[in-house]
């Protein structure tokens, strides 16, 4: 299946001399409003040159978010979980326990000022992560995200295993990706995920792989460094919105 993004050079390392990207893993569930507030603060600090780039890995309580292209008709069960308007691109998506959300705050001025390339790089990151578990993730020309083929379900069947929704402000990215490790897949039934009715959703555990969140985090970090460059661990107890780091 030919995809134009397959031909894009997806490595996006920072310019030489840039500090490593901070890698932070939240040690408790994070509310969506708190996550957005912290991203806003960090993105402003990165743009001002007073904070380092950061990838922030979180889990959320069960909730739905509506991107800027969300169709109200795709919110099938509006009273099931809290629904939050989101400034990211895309449509409705679900976040909840067992799903790893990675908020990606990178300065494209230090990399490549090309949003299309950035999206392709995020897809490459996810595909590389899945490859660590011998799962073949694929991109699709007509829809963003990463997909796996499910021929055992039906000829031509495929399911989404990871979603992408981003926003860029002053060439600093935020929002990011979500990878289904072991979420309750029934929770996706309250929406039409990303507005796509003809395909389903899956997870690593649904594919029969006994992957823990810690396993997924290790694979995510290794694949991220292949695409975007070096990372450095920042303890979760450090203030998430601190602008004290030297850029």
Contacts of 188 (CB under 8 A, 6+ apart): 94, 201
Tell me, what's the pLDDT at 199? 81
Q: Is-catalytic flag, 194?
A: yes
Contact 99, 61 (CB under 8 A): no
pTM of the model: 0.91
Tell me, what's the pLDDT at 239? 40
What are all long-range contacts of 143-148, with beta carbons under 8 Å and residues at least 24 apart? 143/194, 143/196, 144/90, 144/119, 144/194, 145/194, 147/199, 148/202, 148/207
Burial of 177 (0-12, 13-18, 19+ CB in 10 A): buried
Give bridge partners of residue 3 from the DSSP assignment: none
Encoding tokens for residue 164? 């992408």
pLDDT tens digit at each of 247 positions of the chain: 435 455 578 899 999 999 999 999 999 999 999 999 999 999 999 999 999 999 999 999 999 999 888 899 999 999 999 999 998 888 899 999 999 999 999 999 999 999 999 999 999 999 999 999 999 999 998 788 899 999 999 998 999 999 999 999 999 999 999 999 999 999 999 998 766 667 889 999 999 999 999 999 999 999 999 999 999 999 986 444 433 343 4
Tell me, what's the pLDDT at 237? 60
Q: How far is CA 181 from the centre of its chain?
A: 12
Tell me, what's the pLDDT at 209? 97
Encoding tokens for residue 56? 């922030």
Binding residues for substrate: 88-95, 163-165, 176-178
Tell me, what's the pLDDT at 7? 58
Binding residues: 88-95, 163-165, 176-178
At the top level of CATH, the class of 21-233 is alpha beta
Q: For residue 54, how many C-alpha atoms fall within 13 Å in the half-sphere facing its CB?
A: 35
Which residue is catalytic, options 117, 194, 211, 223? Answer: 194
């Amino acid at each position: 299946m030919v995809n134009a993004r397959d031909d894009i050079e997806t490595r996006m390392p920072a310019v030489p001399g840039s500090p490593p990207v901070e890698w932070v893993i939240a040690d408790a569930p994070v509310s969506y409003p708190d996550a957005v507030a912290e991203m806003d603060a960090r993105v402003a600090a990165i743009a001002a040159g007073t904070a380092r780039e950061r990838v922030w890995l979180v889990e959320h309580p069960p909730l739905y978010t509506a991107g800027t292209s969300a169709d109200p008709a795709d919110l099938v069960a509006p009273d099931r979980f809290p629904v939050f308007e989101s400034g990211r691109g895309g449509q409705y998506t679900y976040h909840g326990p067992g799903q790893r959300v990675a908020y990606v705050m990178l300065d494209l001025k230090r990399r490549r000022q090309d949003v299309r390339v950035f999206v392709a790089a995020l897809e490459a990151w996810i595909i590389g992560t899945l490859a660590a578990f011998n799962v073949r993730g694929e991109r699709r020309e007509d829809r963003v995200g990463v997909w796996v083929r499910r021929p055992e379900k039906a000829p031509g069947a495929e399911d989404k295993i990871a979603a992408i929704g981003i926003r860029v402000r002053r060439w600093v990215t935020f929002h990011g990706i979500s990878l289904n490790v072991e979420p309750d897949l029934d929770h996706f039934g309250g929406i039409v995920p990303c507005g796509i009715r003809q395909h389903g959703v899956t997870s690593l555990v649904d594919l029969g792989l006994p992957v823990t969140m810690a396993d997924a985090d290790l694979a995510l970090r290794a694949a991220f460094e292949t695409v975007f460059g070096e990372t450095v661990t920042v303890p979760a107890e450090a203030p998430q919105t601190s602008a004290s780091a030297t850029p």
